[in-house]
Structure 1
Amino acid sequence: EEEMAEAIKFAHEAIKVQCEAQVKLAEAFGKKETREYEPEAEDEELAKKINDLVYDKTYEVAKAGSSKQERSAAFSEIKDEVISSFSEEEQVELGKLIHKYIAKSQKNAIRDLTLNEGLRLDGRKTTEIRPIWCEVDYLPSTHGSSIFTRGETQALATVTLGTSREANVIDMPSFEGEEKFYLHYNFPPFSTGEARPLRGTSRREVGHGNLAQRALKGMIPSDCPYTVRVVSEVLESNGSSSMATVCAGTMAIMDAGVQMKKPVSGIAMGLISDGDKYAVLSDILGDEDHLGDMDFKVTGTADGITACQMDIKIKGLSYEILVNALQQAREGRLHILSKLTDTISSPNADVKGHAPKMITKRIPNDLIGAFIGPGGKTIQELQKETGTTIVINEDPVTEEGVVEILGTNQTGIDAVIAKIEAMLFKPEKGSVYEVKVIKMLDFGAVVEYTEAPGNEVLLHVSELAWERTDNVSDVVKLGDILDVKYFGIDPKTRKEKVSRKAILPKPEGWEDRPKRDNNNRGNSNHKGRDNRKPRHERKND
């Protein structure tokens, strides 16, 4: 909080320089003539009359600490009673002024109640937080979910986990890239008791969603393999719905098994001021936001602030009020945070059984093409066989292939991992490996390494046994498991060579066949090139 206050002070000094430049620019080019307009009509006598009719009654209703619906109905009754005290002609002539003075008197009564007695519309003191109720795993079929209720504000958050293919693509003039964590905030009309059609996402929803996203984004670990999407549905609203979204989002992320660094809570602060008198309000209502002088939203962990946003309706704000608001917000945040951690103290150790599990593997760049296959045939067949989703990206630094395996069936995920490990398997020269016969040929048997299924090599008929082998099936059968020794690349065939007989004892009395000496042909009756006569002698013969 102290660092935040200092940061705001520092920014304030920087803004002063900009303001000074604007003033100098205006002085250099002169001021434009201001247009004259007819001022708004005023009637002091009417204002006093309405204030006498409205103020005391409104004060008593506000002091009663009733619910939003009861309070709204009582205020509407006072308004209708005052309007009905005027004749139809007066209502037609002074209708706008009557409504204006009623609203002004009600506003003054509510503000005075807080400044004079420290009481608020729902009966709370300035530092009190509304009752909180929350629950996780509220929607069992989602990857993660939670519901957060504070007073008459309620938010339902859900989390969906995906691969990098589901990342949110950002294409703006100032930035191009992808977001692997993003949050959508929905504020349907029924949350405030209204019945109207949905006309698409509003600027308010974009702004509130952006604030909640910034509040949570810093607590998502950088090595999180998932793309995480949080959706908040505001089911009921009476102030601070964006902060309810932060709280519900925190619990839903932890419920989904995402290893969040620290839980985050949020609170909306308000201000009512009149000269030297002021009151900072914790956890403001919708009416307090409308009637107050400030809406200051603060989110953070137990150790510090992750995001803040301030809307001020008065000309300026002293640093004293700012510091007090930050400190009071901290107390409120920590109280709310304790309610969240009482519900779910730490992220779940793993994702839910029906949620996709993400495993990341790396393969050399030269194996990416082989893994994908011609036209994607290999990877598509592998996805179909295993019931998984496989995404391959290239690491821009190491140029390695980053393979993302997403699936709900652990058996399928294990099959993909086995395929990758088989590709990466490199036998060591001189080592003995267990193999399985998968194909019989006239000149040998095709075997695969049991620790790397799919990695095949030919076991030549001459390497099956020390004795002469006429038929491969005399020694091994299809499906047999045996041990072989790896000799590396055979210089003659330029292919990998394995041998079974190399690890078998030689038969008793076995003698190795002498190596053939190509340079010395022995006492052959055939004459070599060196024994031939010169060409002219041969011609004479």
Structure 2
Amino acid sequence: MSAISVERQFTGMDTLIRFETGLLAPQAHGAVVARLGETMVLATATTSKQPKDGVDFFPLTVDVEERMYAAGKIPGSFFRREGRASDQAILTCRLIDRPLRPCFPDGFRNDVHVVVTILGADLVNPHDVLSINAASAALMMSGIPFEGPIGAVRIALAADGHWIPFPTYQEGDESSFELVVAGRMTSDGSDVAVMMVEAGGTEATWQAYETKGAIPTEEVVAAGLVEAKRWIRESIELQKEMIAKATPREPMVWSPVRDYSDEIAEAVASSARDRLVQANAIADKVERANAIEAVNTQVQEELASRFEGEAGAIKAALRSLLKQVVRERIVNDGVRIDGRDTVTIRPLSAAVGLIPTAHGSGLFQRGETQVLNICTLGMPRMNQLLDTLGVDESKRYMHHYNMPPFASGEPGFMRGPKRREIGHGLLAERALLPVVPSEDEFSYALRLVSEVLSSNGSTSMASVCGSTLSLMDAGVPIKAPVGGIAMGLIYEGGKYITLTDILGAEDAFGDMDFKVAGTREFVTALQLDTKIDGIPAEVLASALKQAHTARMQIIDVIEATLPAPRSEVAATAPRIVTMQIPMDKIGEIIGPKGKNINALQLETGCDISVDDDGTVGRVVIGSRDGAMVKEVQRRIELILNPPEATLGAIYNGKVVGITKFGAFVNILPGRDGLVHISKLGRGRRVERVEDVLELNQEVNVRVDEIDPSGKLALSLVDEGSTVVEEVVTSEPRAERKPSTPSVDPSKRVSFEDSFESELAREIGDLG
């Protein structure tokens, strides 16, 4: 076996991109290894020999296998092996599928399976866009009828406004916007036609807006789509170079599957066209669907005897005819299915506070699309742990999307989220991310759930709007409200017609699904799919402007419902206080084996977490009882700034530790002292400390000595002795200076020597 490889340094990049074939997976119909830096993926393509029976769609399946060994990790699951695909893997599957699917010819119904296995992940270069290019190259090598190649690139908007191709994870995090664009060459080879776009802002987007940096306005995004073409072209050229050097499989012999004959098409058109035109003019979705179904039933009955056994073909011809009717009405009359023109949004409504026990809730409705969103606030320990090939180990903002069958008026099975639901949830999550406050500003973990209760076009963008409402209702100080709108496109006779706020049928019968979310100032998320040979960049730029107008109307409705986030979180939500502490104080707050923090949690019922970022510590205190939160905060402040012990004063303390040479007694927050065993017998010898004292026993002690390092020597006193009343405030105390002992130096040295020698002896005995 010998490998054939090609590589190229793309424009503006320091790293090479490499394609290789001929070594791995020899029995796959097409197999290509793609490499960027140390990130390496294997893409394979296989197909069945015969068309799949009984299907009226192209059966393409894309799977992405994230192997943890690629990053030198062992899976964190109980079984220590990879399980179901992660959300990121599913999103990558969708990224690959969307630009590939339109590149297969009509009538090709053979099963096609594309598998991308992540062999190496350097945790510097992402593997998702590299996988799109590798999948295209594998299909080109396979002999499967694939009208490619396609190229894909991720570009990141840098602070100075230029676009970085194939950014690293770090470059992506530092940018204010990322675009993933896929496309293929036009039929004349003069330009790149955009076929798929997936884009979103980052946590740095709002910072860029506040500092007057580069932000993703509609004009900037449109320019980015044009910029992406150069790297798409370079990927296509590199794939063609590999194909020229290698030996692709012979093109497979196949025959297109026709869903119906010309004779059936003519008969259906003659019988049904006028009735479908009339039924399609009904504005209400349910009434229109019932009328169309009635026409279909009548036509099938009328043609059943003429075309015996061809019920499926008649049904397919009717669907094709309905598509023509819908498109012709839009192109010729400028009137859509529900009677709107091309730019009008359906009626909008919004409400908040519908669920009394929820921390925040929002209902958004656009026409017959209705989404209820619920926001739940949690402690930072509720952040989602990630066990993936990416660099992120956790995330605090989670968005989940559910669409049960009743949302479209149908029965069905509910077996957990499908790829579509996961993809829609991540799209809405990406749309809100730029305006969600940072963890330093708002320490809560955030989970949003979008429940689609009624569906007729763009539930994902309705989820974005509902999320904005529920976040503000929960008192989350988001930077700005975010709205979303779905755009469609009809291409007929060389003319592009852009549709604002598409219906479900317009999505099915149209040529483009273009979703745009953002604030009043900039775009936060973008998703585009096409069913035709790409979309010219100027058409996309025009669609972005049309979407901006619609988005402003939606944000007007959101702000009229709730002008700003509520001033406080809901009464049902936990109260959280965050304290920054010095790194060297973390151990004191936690205590040996967690003794201090566990005691605080047990006594107050609060949830307390302590962590650090390498430079400063952070304590997060949470509870539904605000008074207890303040009490924990007060006690931690006492540990950070403990009051001074007074020489000769008597304190009521608690025994916190027992050793062979004495007992340690806590007399003040953060201040323990030693009662030596020689001072326990009051003149008589004590063999064991436990004969006199026990753990957690309260005793009165006198401060006999304070050495320069702050160590305290204590002695027991009678219970009737007067105890010092210490006045403790939350004001930071001055830097502690060593107290001057009121004993002569020989006694001070004797105390130090005794303490250290007894401690050393104790450690020696334990060892």
TM class by smaller structure: 0.7 to 0.9
Question: Counterpart of 1:46 in 2: which secondary structure?
Answer: helix
| Structure 2: distance between partners of 1:481 and 1:490 | 20
Which residue, out of 381, 389, 392, partners 1:173?
389
Moved more, 415-424 or 269-278: 269-278
- TM-fit CA distance, 1:150: 1.0
What residue is the counterpart of 1:38 in the other structure? 255
Which residue, out of 741, 752, 765, partners 1:491?
741
Query: Aligned in 2, Cα 1:479/1:71: closer, same or farther, shift over 3 Å?
Result: farther
What residue is the counterpart of 1:90 in the other structure? 307
- TM-fit CA distance, 1:477: 4.5
- TM-fit CA distance, 1:412: 0.2
| Structure 1: distance between partners of 2:580 and 2:650 | 27
Contact 2:642 2:670 (C-alpha < 8 Å) held by counterparts: no
| Structure 2: distance between partners of 1:322 and 1:389 | 50
- TM-fit CA distance, 1:263: 0.9
Query: Aligned in 2, Cα 1:10/1:480: closer, same or farther, shift over 3 Å?
Result: closer
- TM-fit CA distance, 1:427: 5.1
Which residue, out of 288, 291, 295, partners 1:71?
288
- TM-fit CA distance, 1:228: 1.0
**Structure 1: which 4+ aligned runs deviate by more than 4 Å?**
426-429, 435-440, 446-449, 453-462, 471-474, 476-483
Contact 1:422 1:455 (C-alpha < 8 Å) held by counterparts: no
Which residue, out of 304, 309, 325, partners 1:109?
325
Say what the alpha-carbon RMSD is for the aligned residues: 3.0
- TM-fit CA distance, 1:218: 1.1
- TM-fit CA distance, 1:231: 1.1
| Structure 2: distance between partners of 1:285 and 1:490 | 83
What residue is the counterpart of 1:349 in the other structure? 567
What residue is the counterpart of 2:512 in the other structure? 294
Contact 2:650 2:703 (C-alpha < 8 Å) held by counterparts: no
What residue is the counterpart of 2:221 in the other structure? 4
Q: TM-score normalised to the size of structure 2?
A: 0.57
Q: Which has the larger radius of gyration?
A: 1
Written as runs of structure 1 = structure 2, the 5 A alignment for 1:257-296 is 257-296=475-514
Question: Counterpart of 2:567 in 1: which secondary structure?
Answer: coil
1:14-38 CA-partner distances (Å, limit 9, x unpaired): 1011112222332333554322233
Which residue, out of 240, 245, 266, partners 2:458?
240
| Structure 2: distance between partners of 1:111 and 1:175 | 46
Which residue, out of 341, 346, 350, partners 1:125?
341
Query: Aligned in 2, Cα 1:19/1:268: closer, same or farther, shift over 3 Å?
Result: same
Contact 2:650 2:702 (C-alpha < 8 Å) held by counterparts: no
**Identical residues among aligned pairs (%):** 37
What residue is the counterpart of 2:601 in the other structure? 383
What residue is the counterpart of 1:329 in the other structure? 547
Contact 1:83 1:91 (C-alpha < 8 Å) held by counterparts: no
- Structure with greater helix percent: 1
| Structure 1: distance between partners of 2:618 and 2:597 | 14
Query: Aligned in 2, Cα 1:409/1:39: closer, same or farther, shift over 3 Å?
Result: closer
Query: Aligned in 2, Cα 1:348/1:328: closer, same or farther, shift over 3 Å?
Result: same
- TM-fit CA distance, 1:426: 4.8
* Partner amino acid, structure 2, of 1:411: A
Written as runs of structure 1 = structure 2, the 5 A alignment for 1:49-64 is 49-64=267-282
Written as runs of structure 1 = structure 2, the 5 A alignment for 1:430-441 is 438=652
Q: Tell me how many residue pairs correspond in the alignment.
A: 470
1:57-100 CA-partner distances (Å, limit 9, x unpaired): 212222232x11111111111111110012447231x3332122
| Structure 1: distance between partners of 2:572 and 2:507 | 42
| Structure 2: distance between partners of 1:138 and 1:116 | 44
Question: Counterpart of 1:377 in 2: which secondary structure?
Answer: helix
Query: Aligned in 2, Cα 1:111/1:77: closer, same or farther, shift over 3 Å?
Result: same
| Structure 2: distance between partners of 1:220 and 1:71 | 41
* Partner amino acid, structure 2, of 1:85: E
What residue is the counterpart of 1:529 in the other structure? none
1:270-292 CA-partner distances (Å, limit 9, x unpaired): 01110222321111111111010
| Structure 1: distance between partners of 2:456 and 2:365 | 11
Question: Counterpart of 2:343 in 1: which secondary structure?
Answer: coil
What residue is the counterpart of 1:25 in the other structure? 242
What residue is the counterpart of 1:498 in the other structure? none
1:442-461 CA-partner distances (Å, limit 9, x unpaired): xxxx9978xxx676897769
* Partner amino acid, structure 2, of 1:164: P
- TM-fit CA distance, 1:321: 1.6
Gaps of 5+ in 2: 1-217, 655-664, 674-700, 706-716, 729-735, 745-767
Question: Counterpart of 1:278 in 2: which secondary structure?
Answer: strand
Gaps of 5+ in 1: 441-445, 463-470, 495-541
What residue is the counterpart of 2:610 in the other structure? 392
Match status 1:215 vs 2:431? yes
- TM-fit CA distance, 1:304: 0.7
* Partner amino acid, structure 2, of 1:491: P
Question: Counterpart of 2:532 in 1: which secondary structure?
Answer: coil
Query: Aligned in 2, Cα 1:37/1:419: closer, same or farther, shift over 3 Å?
Result: same
Q: TM-score normalised to the size of structure 1?
A: 0.80
Moved more, 25-34 or 226-235: 25-34
What residue is the counterpart of 2:398 in the other structure? 182
* Partner amino acid, structure 2, of 1:54: A
Which residue, out of 566, 580, 594, partners 1:362?
580
Which residue, out of 612, 620, 627, partners 1:404?
620
| Structure 2: distance between partners of 1:199 and 1:380 | 40
| Structure 2: distance between partners of 1:126 and 1:438 | 80
Question: Counterpart of 1:90 in 2: which secondary structure?
Answer: coil
